Amino acid sequence: MRPEVLFPLFRPINTLKGIGPRLAALIEKLAGPHVVDVLFHLPSGAIMREEIETLTPQHLTRQIIIKTQVIKHHPSRSRRVPYKISCLSGDEKLTLTFFNGREDYLRRALPEREERIISGKLEQFSGSYQITHPDHISRINETADIKRCEPVYPLTAGVTSKTFHKALIQALEDLPHLSEWTDPHLIGRQNWPKWREALQASHNPNTISDLEPENLVRQRLAYDELLSNQVALELVRRSMRRRKGRRFEGKDGLITQIENALPYSLTHAQQSALSEIFADMHSDNRMLRLLQGDVGSGKTAVALMALAKCVQSGAQGAMMAPTEILARQHIESIKPFIDAAGLNVALLTGRLKGKKREALLEEIANGNIHIIVGTHALFQDDVIYHDLGLAIIDEQHRFGVHQRLSLSAKGRPDKGGVDILVMTATPIPRTLALTAYGDMDVSIIGEKPPGRKPVTTRAIDIARLDDLANSLSRKLADGERIYWVCPLVEESEVIDLAAAEDRYEYLNRLYPGHVGLVHGKMKADEKDAAMQNFKEGVTKILVATTVIEVGVDVPEATVMVIEHSERFGLAQLHQLRGRVGRGGLEGSCLLLYTGPLGETQKARIKIMRETEDGFRIAEEDLRLRGAGEFLGTRQSGMPVFKLADLAHHSKLLNVARDDARAFLEQDPELNSERGQAIRTLLYLFERDSAIRYLSSG
Ligand code: ADP
Ligand code: MG
């Protein structure tokens, strides 16, 4: 239950005065549904104003605050002419100009012969000083109302900065006093303000530099959020540790059989990842492990061996892929070896229906099928396993912590539940990995199988499309295959799709009958057919939206053309590039752009040309785009931070992790005074679902 002290912060926005349902809906979209979300919506900039006594040309175009005497109103006689008010500041004339100004309001706000303090941007108009639509008008004794440094917030249409302020000021008034959750030594060392003061200060900057991530106020707030993230993950991790897992035992016969059937021997990197996985499986801890390896590093073989270990001890293994195409590819690549070992493997996807599905579910339930490969369909309610021991989730930066855990529910508690191995080809920068996978142990395959040639990367102006397209004929004559990616972006899917179809037709005119098209709007079997044709070489150029992004293996593919390469993150470009040059032939990756290139784009291309190290690319991507953009964080299951900025606060993240670990070691049930405060912190950042992982529930 949410602590009472937080109630004022979790009121809905429409309980604030002056915020009706329409505005509340807009603010909710902008910041979130509760008062606390308004408070956590921090300013992104500020307007600095200079308080001056006399107008001089040197103040032109600047934001100023000045005292002025109202002389005379000149209401407008037509819509096209603005309402003007002549004033005098010292000896200088100043005109205040209002388009569509309402006379009654203006006469009340700026009565003739009275003095007012006004602020706004100073301009010059037909030789005299002018301020158009002053930001503030106040009486002489109310100057405190005008801020020398006014914070500016990211806003959306329909929410003006005035309205947002109105909500914010009320929210700040109700700010509760919360007990300190952060280690007092750390606070002392860092010289951080208290939470309440920090939040107030964050909305009342004195200078632009107060808004920088390195500012003490911002650091403090970021740390709170990171600490809540790390405590939550640590609670999950500890709870996994507490639950007894299964010891996978039995002779290594199957593993040896499969290893012998492989046409290659495992690399050192694969072997060492595997021995970490086996160590988890042998122990009675429950495995929750992340296997990171760049595209083409050979994760599938590692997965296969882990499945063998699982089946060998009498349990079933499941492997889940994010798409049907990938699930099919997995089963194709592992089936020969599983067959060789005399085991049964089956594919279960959403497409399997009716009698066939029932029959398969029956075989899964009675244990006839040893290894099940599929999509999300693997974990639907009516899928009952005889004895699921290991779940492998491939390419899964689409799941959150709790989804990972719900998979374990498919196992048999009496046998020790399900071990989980998550595989990802997306090199996740260390900082992000900590926030998303801090509950997991990590193995890394840091070396690729031998014999792979580097892929050359070039940027090409779209104006040279014809040259490029014609130059492909030689490659095609040599039997090489080409991916041609036309990305879809959400806002204009129809237009994008049309662009992909146009490109398909254009290429098909040049190479009739040799071009295929695959996109997300196609039916599953049409997609499969298009992919299959490309694999078999029936088509030699495959125009695709991003469906091939996550791992289809076609050894003959040597060229990757990426249109609108600026729409992809570097990590995604790297993934796409990893699709070519797999079969021992030299690969190339051509990044098409619409010129001229900006600085960031040049930097991006430079990085892509310089390195094929996925981790380095990911770090650079994070640096160039910020964590919010990285991988499209919201959809990716990566946590979203409101106050922390991982591009700047990664040091704090490490501190938070050490702090969370050390503290929970001392007070695993969050019972101490600081423990109680940390509970409140979890609720404050809505990470309270982690509280159920306390052993006392
Ligand atoms: P990813 O890590 O991207 O899933 P895959 O498992 O698909 O990589 O492996 C990529 C390719 O490398 C596959 O064709 C696979 O057969 C091959 N491969 C995997 N391990 C080795 C190895 N130790 N030696 C040689 N080739 C390997
Ligand atoms: Mg793979």
Q: Which of 360, 351, 344 is nearest to 323 (CA)?
A: 351
- Rounded Cα distance between 105 and 399, Å, is 55
Q: Which residue has the tokens 């709170």?
A: 224
**Cα 293 to ligand 2 centre (Å):** 9
Given the CA of residue 451, which atom of ligand 1 is nearest to it?
25
Nearest ligand 1 atom, CA 551: 3
Count CB atoms within 10 A of the CB of residue 619. 20
- What's the average model confidence in pLDDT over 228-241? 87
Q: Tell me the chain's radius of gyration from C-alpha atoms.
A: 31
Q: Which atom of ligand 1 is nearest to the CA of 300?
A: 6
Of 351, 266, 355, 340, the closest CA to residue 303 belongs to 266
In ligand 1, which atom is closest to the CA atom of 295?
3
Q: Tokens 């990995």 map to which residue?
A: 433
Residue closest via CA to ligand 1's atom 5 equals 298
361/369 Cα distance (integer angstroms): 9
Q: How far apart are CA 28 and CA 19, in angstroms?
A: 11
Interval between CA 424 and ligand 2 midpoint (Å): 8
- Cα 603 to its chain centre, rounded Å, is 21
pLDDT at 628 over 60: no
Instruction: Tell me the three-class secondary structure of 314-364, residue by residue.
Output: CCEEEEECCCHHHHHHHHHHHHHHHHHCCCCEEEECCCCCHHHHHHHHHHH
Ligand nearest to the CA of 394: 2
Q: How far is the CA of 541 from the centre of ligand 1 (A)?
A: 23
CA of 233 to the centre of ligand 2 (A): 27
Q: Which atom of ligand 1 is nearest to the CA of 297?
A: 2
The neighbour count for residue 26, using CB atoms within 10 Å, is 19
Ligand 2 centroid to residue 106 C-alpha, Å: 68
Q: Which ligand approaches the C-alpha of residue 300 most closely?
A: 1
Distance 424 CA to ligand 1 centre (A): 14
Q: Closest by alpha carbon to 297, among 439, 484, 434, 443?
A: 443
The residues, ordered by sequence, that sit 6+ positions from 198 with a Cβ below 8 Å of its Cβ are 192, 216, 217, 220, 221
Cα-to-centroid distance, 297 and ligand 2 (Å): 8
Q: Over range 351-361, report the average pLDDT.
A: 94
pLDDT for the residue 548: 60
Output the six-digit token pair for 90. Answer: 């010292």
Model confidence pLDDT, tens digit, residues 443-483: 989 888 887 778 999 999 999 999 999 999 999 998 899 99
Q: What pLDDT is recorded for position 156?
A: 84
| 445 contacts 293 by C-beta, under 8 angstroms | yes
Q: How far is the CA of 596 from the centre of ligand 2 (A)?
A: 36
Ligand 2: distance of its center to the CA of 300 in Å?
Answer: 6
Tell me which residue has its CA closest to atom 26 in ligand 1: 449
Instruction: Give the 3-state DSSP-derived string for 558-572, with helices as H, strands as E and coil as C.
Output: EEEEECCHHHCCHHH
pLDDT at 644 > cutoff 60: yes
Question: What residue's CA is closest to ligand 1, atom 25?
Answer: 449
Ligand 2 centroid, distance to 329 Cα (angstroms): 9
Instruction: List the beta strands (DSSP E) in 437-523.
Output: 441-445, 455-461, 481-485, 515-518
CA distances to 480, 506, 559 from 476, rounded to whole Å, are: 5, 16, 10
- pLDDT at residue number 635: 42
Phi, psi of 607 (to 5 degrees): -60, -45
Give φ, ψ of 115 to 5 degrees. -100, 145
333 Cα nearest atom in ligand 1: 16
Give me the CATH topology for the region 456-611. Answer: Rossmann fold (3.40.50)
Mutational test site, ligand 1, from 262, 300, 332, 579, max ligand atoms within 8 Å of CB:
300
Q: List b or e across 424-461, with b for residues whose CB sees 16 or more CB atoms inside 10 angstroms.
A: bbbbbbebbbbbbbbbbbbbbbbebbeebeebebebbe
Residues of the chain with CATH 3.40.50.300: 253-445, 456-611
Tokens of 57: 């040309």
Which is the closest atom of ligand 1 to the Cα of 267?
23
Burial class from Cβ neighbours inside 10 Å (0-12, 13-18, 19+) for residue 187 reads: middle
Name the residue with higher pLDDT: 497 or 447.
447
Residue nearest to atom 16 of ligand 1 (CA): 298
Instruction: Select the more confidently predicted residue: 439 or 362.
Output: 362
Structure tokens at 329: 């590819």
Closest ligand to the CA of 293: 1
Q: What is the pLDDT of residues 405-449, one digit of tens each?
A: 666 778 887 777 899 999 987 777 777 777 777 778 889 898 888
> For the segment 504-540, what is each residue's pLDDT rounded down to a tens digit?
999 999 999 999 998 878 887 888 888 889 988 999 9
3-state secondary structure 296-328: CCCHHHHHHHHHHHHHHCCCEEEEECCCHHHHH
Cβ atoms of 507 and 475 within 8 Å: the answer is no
Binned at pLDDT 50, 70 and 90, residue 343 comes out as very high
Check whether 112 has a pLDDT greater than 80.
yes
Mutation pick for ligand 1 pocket among 452, 553, 574 (CB with most ligand atoms within 8 Å): 553
| Distance in Å, CA 683 to ligand 2 centroid | 38
Using the mean position of ligand 2's atoms as its centre, give its distance from the Cα of residue 338 in Å: 17
Atom nearest to 293 CA in ligand 1: 2
pLDDT-derived band at 147 (thresholds 50, 70, 90) equals confident
Q: Which atom of ligand 1 is nearest to the CA of 270?
A: 23
Of 107, 109, 84, the residue nearest 95 (C-alpha): 84
**Tokens standing for 379?**
């974990």
Element (H, E) at 85: strand 83-89
Single out the residue of 546, 484, 492, 486 nearest to residue 515, CA to CA. Answer: 484
Residue nearest to atom 24 of ligand 1 (CA): 449
> Nearest ligand to the C-alpha of residue 292?
1
Minimal-distance CA residue to ligand 1 atom 9: 298
Percentage of the chain modeled with pLDDT above 70? 93
DSSP H or E stretch at residue 451: none
63, burial (CB in 10 Å: exposed 0-12, middle 13-18, buried 19+)? middle
CA 564 to chain centre: 21
Task: Tell me the ligand closest to 267's alpha carbon.
Answer: 1
* Cα–ligand 1 centroid distance for 604 (angstroms): 28
**Which two structure tokens, joined as six digits, stand for 305?**
């061996």
Mutate to test the pocket of ligand 1, among 297, 331, 549 (most ligand atoms within 8 A of CB): 297
The superfamily (CATH) of domain 50-146 is: Nucleic acid-binding proteins (2.40.50.140)
Residues 535/582, Cβ–Cβ less than 8 Å: no
Residue nearest atom 17 in ligand 1 by C-alpha distance: 298
570 φψ region: left (φ > 0), alpha (ψ -120 to 50), beta (else): alpha
Which pLDDT does position 396 carry in this prediction? 59
pLDDT of residue 634: 42
Q: What CA–CA distance (Å, rounded) separates 224 from 657?
A: 12
Q: Which helix (H) or strand (E) holds 677?
A: helix 673-684
The protein residue whose alpha carbon is closest to atom 10 in ligand 1 is 296
Question: Which atom number of ligand 1 is nearest to the Cα of residue 394?
Answer: 4
- Beta-bridge mates of residue 518: 544
| Closest ligand to residue 332's CA | 1
% of the chain exceeding 90 in pLDDT? 56
Report residue 489's pLDDT band, with 50, 70 and 90 as the boundaries: low
Q: Which ligand is closest in space to the CA of residue 553?
A: 1
Kindly state the average pLDDT of the residues 146-164: 87
Atom of ligand 1 nearest to the CA of 303: 6
Question: pLDDT tens for residues 537-552?
Answer: 999 999 998 766 445 6
Q: What is the pLDDT of residue 687?
A: 87
Question: What residue spans in the chain does CATH classification 2.40.50.140 cover?
Answer: 50-146
Cis, peptide link before residue 639, omega less than 30° from 0 = no
**Amino acid letter, residue 425:** A
Give the pLDDT of residue 68.
95
> In whole angstroms, what is the distance from residue 54 CA to residue 45 CA?
27
- Residue 405 confidence (pLDDT): 66
The pLDDT assigned to 437 comes to 75
> Lowest mean pLDDT: which of 83-97, 299-313, 608-622?
608-622
Mean predicted lDDT score pLDDT of the chain = 88
Q: Is the pTM of this model over 0.85?
A: no
For residue 321, report the distance from its CA to the centre of ligand 2, in Å. Answer: 9
pLDDT higher than 80, residue 573: yes
Residues, the chain, total? 697
Q: Report the 3 state secondary structure along 390-440.
A: EEEEECCCCCCHHHHHHHHHHCCHHHCCCEEEEEECCCCCHHHHHHHHCCC
**Residue 388 Cα, ligand 2 centroid: separation in angstroms?**
22
Residues lining ligand 1, judged by CB closer than 6 Å?
264, 266-267, 270, 293, 295-301, 425, 449, 551, 553
Do the Cβ atoms of 61 and 123 come closer than 8 Å? yes
**Ligand lying closest to the C-alpha of residue 265:** 1
Question: How many Å lie between the centroid of ligand 2 and the Cα of residue 583?
Answer: 15
Encoding tokens for residue 80?
Answer: 């096209």
Once rounded to an integer, what is the mean pLDDT over residues 211-215?
Answer: 93
What would the two tokens of residue 86 be? 């002549």
DSSP 285: B
Looking at the CA of 299, name the nearest ligand. Answer: 1
Most informative mutation of 258, 259, 264, 421 for ligand 1 (most atoms within 8 A of CB)? 264
pLDDT at residue 310 tops 50: yes
Q: How far, CA to CA in Å, does 348 sit from each of 326, 345, 373? A: 12, 10, 6
> Distance between CA atoms of 543 and 520, rounded to whole angstroms?
12
Place of tokens 């662009």: 499
CATH number for the domain formed by residue range(s) 253-445: 3.40.50.300
Contact between residue 367 and residue 359 where contact means Cβ atoms under 8 Å apart? no
> pLDDT for 582-606, tens place per residue?
777 889 999 999 878 888 888 889 9
Q: Which of 420, 385, 402 is nearest to 285 (CA)?
A: 420
Expressed in angstroms and rounded, the spacing between residue 295 Cα and the centre of ligand 2 is: 7
Q: What is the pLDDT of residue 491?
A: 54
